[in-house]
Amino acid sequence: MDKTLLIIDGLNLIRRLYAALEAEQDAVRRVERTQSIAIDALSKLAQQFDPDYAVVVFDSNGKTWRHQVYPEYKLGRVPMDDALLESLEEFARVFRYNHFPCLRMSGWEADDLIATLAVKASQHKVTSYIVSTDKGFTQLLGDEYILQYDYFAKLGYNKAWVPGKYGVQAEQLMDYWALVGDTTNRIPGVKGIGPKTALNIIADAPTIEAIYANLQTFSERIQKLLAGGYEQCLLSRSLVSLKTDVSLGFPLSKLKFQPKKDA
């Protein structure tokens, strides 16, 4: 029987659960309720997927390589409430107590760690279920061993879903986003190029390199829009592309899931 790895985007889950409790005025109580609901969510996910391995992945504190190459990265995002930020270590402690391994590595976003885990698992024919609402993971779905699940919408996503949503294959998403940009993370695209135009361009030239190597084949309007944007497109593509080769320093066996037995 194929083995499975349950990868949970920790902050993605926690922040959404916390936001749903905005009516709670007591900051301490709000965090405590979020922890309780988060544990319940993890338990439900474990029952649903019955994984051989599991891990909750967190972002590291401070800036990452993306901030170093592009200081405007995520600039303007609404900051996390102090009460929630200060309680993240306690979340991890509670998760571990309930037998969910947690991972955080200095200098790395959870996204890159999750992508690396999923790809490494795939190399051993282990199917990963990435639990997150983050669209960035969609780029990994070209791999038959990598699937995504939205806990809140109760929807799963695979390779076949991607073209219907974006109009391109999963492997083309990074070039597509390089053209249209990623407003969530403040990553610029090419000014004047929206989704429809980007799809028309990629239909003729599937990568940024191919687009600019064949610039003369496009209409005069498209040529003007793209003119001088090659380096920016390459930068944007690198920023939206998830790292899949982070040195984790431990084998998959370290994430073996052993459900907590009721007393």
Query: How do the domains of the chain map onto residue ranges?
Result: 4-163, 167-240
Q: Which fold has domain 4-163?
A: Rossmann fold (3.40.50)
Per-residue pLDDT at 261: 66
CATH code for residues 167-240: 1.10.150.20
Instruction: Check residue 142 and give left, alpha or beta (phi > 0: left; psi -120 to 50: alpha).
Output: alpha
52 DSSP assignment: S
d(Cα 184, Cα 87) in Å, to the nearest integer? Answer: 25
Taking only the tens of pLDDT, the chain with its 263 residues reads 689 999 999 999 999 999 999 999 999 999 999 999 999 999 999 999 999 999 999 998 888 999 999 999 988 788 889 999 999 999 999 999 999 999 999 999 999 999 999 999 999 999 999 999 999 999 999 999 999 999 999 999 999 999 999 999 999 999 999 999 999 899 999 999 999 999 999 999 999 999 999 999 999 999 999 999 999 999 999 999 999 999 999 999 999 998 876 54
d(Cα 161, Cα 102) in Å, to the nearest integer? Answer: 29
d(Cα 234, Cα 6) in Å, to the nearest integer? Answer: 32
**Nearest by Cα to 7 from 102, 123, 125:** 102
d(Cα 191, Cα 189) in Å, to the nearest integer? Answer: 6
Helices (H), 124-259: 161-166, 173-180, 195-204, 208-213, 220-226, 230-240
d(Cα 246, Cα 115) in Å, to the nearest integer? Answer: 9
d(Cα 141, Cα 219) in Å, to the nearest integer? Answer: 32
